[in-house]
Structure 1
Amino acid sequence: MRADAETIGNSGLRFWSTRYGDSPVIGTAIHDGHDVRGDVAGLMALSDGERLREEDPFTAEMVSGLCNQIIVHRSRFEIDLNRQSDKAIYLDPDQAWGLNVWREQPSDTALGKSLNFHQDYYAMLEQTLRNMEKRHGAFVVLDVHSYNHRRAGPDGPATPQDKAPDVNIGTSSMDRERWGDIIDVVIEHFREVEVNGRPLDVRENVAFQGKGEQTRFVHERFPENGCAVAIEFKKIFMDEWTGEPDQLVIDQRRDAITSLEQVLTDVLRRRQ
């Protein structure tokens, strides 16, 4: 029996959506959101397109086939849930790829509301994972993100392939010896997926090392039973400058993540 929960109200009021059921695997898309709270939206210097370029659109769709999922609707430009709270609001361009996020800095009251959102999210996440631990023992969090590889502009050169794998698996905050079988299975699973007639280039800790706050939080709070895998998909599933999706590639990513659930479930069961 699966329960669906979502904040009631229009899209601008939603915090996150959750689905919870009988599986030891959960997928998150914490940078998929584009909504911004009304009291700070008018203070932003960035256009919708500029924000979208650094968000992770379509990652919610990629985890949509999983039994358990958390989808965040608020933009990382309001507050970045994948950074520690004292660095989660981009007040300096150095925190945001050189972008000047604010034309007017939010008040302390507004910043406090954003920080409360960060705190509430991690309280919800911990309770959700406590429930999974109670039901299943060990569990896996698939922390799904995406990343840009055409920062030189829409007509500029892409980041060289040796520095930008199609799928980057980040593992730096985990006990690699304890969870190596999980990581090996994830990497091999995605390598079986093809794009334009070739296998996906899947590597570990190349473009990113999995140093985000969410994976760190999971490994700190659940050192025995929680394995959080940061999955960064290079934005070959969309045009990162126009936002135009390649639905076929998005569907391939979704199907790969959906089928990974049973693979990981089997690995966890063999570990018991």
Structure 2
Amino acid sequence: MVNTERSAFEFLGDWSGQFIATAIHNGHDIRAEVAAELVLPDEDRVREEDPHTDEIGALVPARVVVHRSRFEVDLNRAREKAVYRSAEEAWGLEVVRDPPLDRALVAGSLEVYDAFYAALGRRLDAVAERGPFVVFDIHSYNHRRDGADAAPAPWAENPEVNVGTGSLDRDRFGSVVDAFIESLARAGTSAGPLDVRENVRFRGQQLAAWTHARYRDRGIVLALEFKKTFMDEWTGEADQARIDELARAVASTIPALREALIEVETL
């Protein structure tokens, strides 16, 4: 989709509390001049994006939703790697026609990157003034990469929900992580309990690292990777009932997290 009429990202909901959900890989929009350089088929691009992650976080009071595709600028990478310039930077996918991209195109994409982190910083500065806070950094991941008719990836290495805490000070905030994992696992769904595990497939990337560095004693990012059992990753067909269940499950963890934050604040 070529669309720059709407904003690259938006802030939604009530920001007077301490719980925020982000969906920074949710978007599919892209600037026309960047789209002209792409050779990656649209269906492959969608497969590597994280559709419906905005819906999974929809019941969290404050939300950040990104509409711009990660194939224009990846907000979960360090700035110097945020624009995919070669297949090596994009899981072996041939993304652009003639790498490297023109410097002016890269600069235009990095303007989105800089604007996003500047705006998010202004919002989170106000949140941090009130005390510790939790960011649900919501992503999704493919588990049927061998093909639509092939067996899914092994369960042992692919939890239903991977909680990434690689850059978090777990000595200080471990009780918050534990409260989240226990609460989300208890929430369950119509398909049974959720399999929630920490740092199995993913450990969190730039959004988590940036937040933890900027708000060292207050920011807690839970980088959540939901296995795409809520959709067909090959056709893109969504299971709306499953998405709604996951949204309710995430929101249901907030009371337990609120108690854990109170304990952290007294340390």
Does TM, scored on the shorter chain, surpass 0.5? yes
1:227 aligns with 2:225: no
1:264 aligns with 2:261: no
Residue 12 of structure 1: how far off its partner (Å): 4.4
Equivalent residue letter for 2:262:
R
Residue 47 of structure 1: how far off its partner (Å): 2.0
| Kept after mapping to 2: 8 A contact 1:27/1:66 | yes
| Kept after mapping to 1: 8 A contact 2:15/2:127 | no
- 2-structure distance, mates of 1:96, 1:156: 23
Is there any run of 5+ residues in structure 2 with no aligned partner, and where?
none
| Kept after mapping to 2: 8 A contact 1:12/1:35 | no
Partner residue of 1:71?
Answer: 65
- 2-structure distance, mates of 1:72, 1:80: 10
- 1-structure distance, mates of 2:4, 2:103: 25
Q: 129, 140, 160: which is aligned to 2:124? A: 129
Partner residue of 1:160?
Answer: 154
Residue 259 of structure 1: how far off its partner (Å): 2.0
Residue 194 of structure 1: how far off its partner (Å): 3.0
1:108 aligns with 2:103: yes
Partner residue of 1:201?
Answer: 195
Equivalent residue letter for 2:149:
D
- 2-structure distance, mates of 1:271, 1:89: 37
| Kept after mapping to 2: 8 A contact 1:12/1:36 | no
> CA 1:196/1:256 → structure 2, altered by over 3 Å: closer, same or farther?
closer
Residue 11 of structure 1: how far off its partner (Å): 6.0
- 2-structure distance, mates of 1:173, 1:267: 19
Residue 195 of structure 1: how far off its partner (Å): 4.5
CA offset digits 1:57-105 (Å, max 9, x no partner): 0000111111111000000000100000111111121221211001134
- 2-structure distance, mates of 1:214, 1:271: 22
Equivalent residue letter for 2:216:
P
Partner residue of 2:53?
Answer: 59
- 2-structure distance, mates of 1:155, 1:196: 25
Range with bigger deviation, 150-159 or 259-268: 259-268
Q: 165, 169, 174: which is aligned to 2:163? A: 169
Q: How many residues align?
A: 261
Identity %: 42
- 2-structure distance, mates of 1:21, 1:164: 33
- 2-structure distance, mates of 1:245, 1:197: 16
CA offset digits 1:110-160 (Å, max 9, x no partner): 1101111111111111111101012x2111111010000011011112110
Residue 39 of structure 1: how far off its partner (Å): 1.2
| Kept after mapping to 2: 8 A contact 1:33/1:76 | yes
Alignment of 1:9-20 (within 5 A): 12-19=5-12, 20=14
CA offset digits 1:158-181 (Å, max 9, x no partner): 110001000000011010111111
1:245 aligns with 2:238: yes
| Kept after mapping to 2: 8 A contact 1:30/1:70 | yes
CA offset digits 1:204-240 (Å, max 9, x no partner): 1101122x10000011011011111101000000000
Partner residue of 1:6?
Answer: none
| Kept after mapping to 2: 8 A contact 1:143/1:228 | yes
Residue 196 of structure 1: how far off its partner (Å): 5.4
Residue 50 of structure 1: how far off its partner (Å): 0.9
Q: 115, 119, 128: which is aligned to 2:114? A: 119
| Kept after mapping to 1: 8 A contact 2:172/2:264 | no
Residue 252 of structure 1: how far off its partner (Å): 0.8
Q: CA RMSD for the aligned pairs?
A: 1.4
Range with bigger deviation, 16-25 or 193-202: 193-202
Equivalent residue letter for 1:203:
R
Equivalent residue letter for 1:127:
R
Aligned with 1:80: secondary structure? coil
Partner residue of 1:4?
Answer: none
Is there any run of 5+ residues in structure 1 with no aligned partner, and where?
1-9
- 2-structure distance, mates of 1:193, 1:159: 24
| Kept after mapping to 1: 8 A contact 2:4/2:30 | no
CA offset digits 1:26-71 (Å, max 9, x no partner): 1100000000011111111112211110000000011111111100
Normalising to structure 1: TM-score of the pair? 0.92
Normalising to structure 2: TM-score of the pair? 0.93
